[in-house]
Chain A
Amino acid sequence: MSMDQQAIQTRLQTAFGDQIGEWHEMKTSAYATKYGSYLDVKNVDYLRDICLFLRDEADLKFDNLMLLSTVDNGDKTLSATYHMESTTHRHVFALKVTVSVDHARVPSVTGVWTSANWHEREGWDMMGIEFVGHPDLRRILLDEDYPGHPLRKDFKVPDFYHGMKVPY
Chain B
Amino acid sequence: MAETVQQRIIRNGQTMPAKVVPAEKVEPRRLKTEEMILNVGPQHPSTHGVLRLEVVLDGEMVVDCVPHLGYLHRCFEKHAEAMTYPQVIPYVDRMDYLAAMNSDHGYALAVERMLGVEVPRKVEFIRVLFAELQRIASHLVAVGTYGLDVGAFTPFLYCFRDREYILEMFEKTCGARLLYNYIWVGGLSHDIHPDVFGMCKKFIKDNRATHKQVNDLLTFNKIFVERTANIGVLRPDVAINGGASGPMLRGSGVKWDLRRDDPYSIYPELDFEVAVGTGKFGQVGDCFDRHWVRMLEWEQSLNILEQLLEKWPHEDKTDVQSAVPKRIKPVAGEIYSRTENPRGELGFYIVSKDGINPYRCKVRSPAFVNLSLLPVISRGYLVADLIAILGSVDIVLGEVDR
Binding site for B on A (CB under 8 A): 24, 26, 28-29, 31-32, 35-36, 38, 63-67, 69-72, 74, 81, 83, 87, 90, 94, 113-115, 117-118, 126, 133-147, 150-151
Contact = CB atoms under 8 A, between A and B. Distances in A.
A36 B372 contact: no
Given A28-B331, A67-B347, A94 B336 contact: yes
Interface centre among B15, B23, B73, B261 (most CB of A within 10 A): B73
A32 B333 contact: yes
Given A28-B331, A36-B335, A118-B369, A64 B243 contact: yes
A126 B77 contact: yes
B241 interface: yes
A54 to B, nearest CB: 13
A4 to B, nearest CB: 16
Contacts of A81: 334, 349
Contact of B77 (A31, A144, A151): A151
Given A134-B18, A136-B18, 8 more contacts: A36-B334, A67-B364, A114-B243, A115-B242, A133-B17, A143-B70, A145-B5, A147-B1
Given A71-B351, A118-B368, A31 B337 contact: yes
Interface in B14-36: 15, 17-18, 23
A28 B241 contact: no
A32 B114 contact: yes
B364 A114 contact: no
A47 to B, nearest CB: 18
Contacts of B246: none
Contacts of A142: 70, 73
Interface string B31-72: 000000000000000000000000000000000000001100
B313 interface: no
B235 interface: no
What DSSP secondary structure best describes chain A's contact surface? loop
B172 interface: no
Contact of A29 (B73, B116, B334, B376): B116
- For the complex of A and B, list the 9 residue pairs with the smallest distance between their C-beta atoms, beginning with the closest: A115-B243, A36-B335, A28-B116, A141-B70, A69-B362, A29-B116, A26-B333, A67-B364, A118-B372
Contact of B333 (A28, A144, A151): A28
A131 to B, nearest CB: 10
A81 B376 CA distance: 26
Contacts of A64: 240-241, 243
B256 interface: yes
A69 B402 CA distance: 15
B121 interface: no
B299 interface: no
B69 A138 contact: no
A36 B360 contact: no
A101 to B, nearest CB: 16
B131 interface: no
Interface in B331-363: 331, 333-338, 345, 347, 349, 351, 353, 359-360, 362
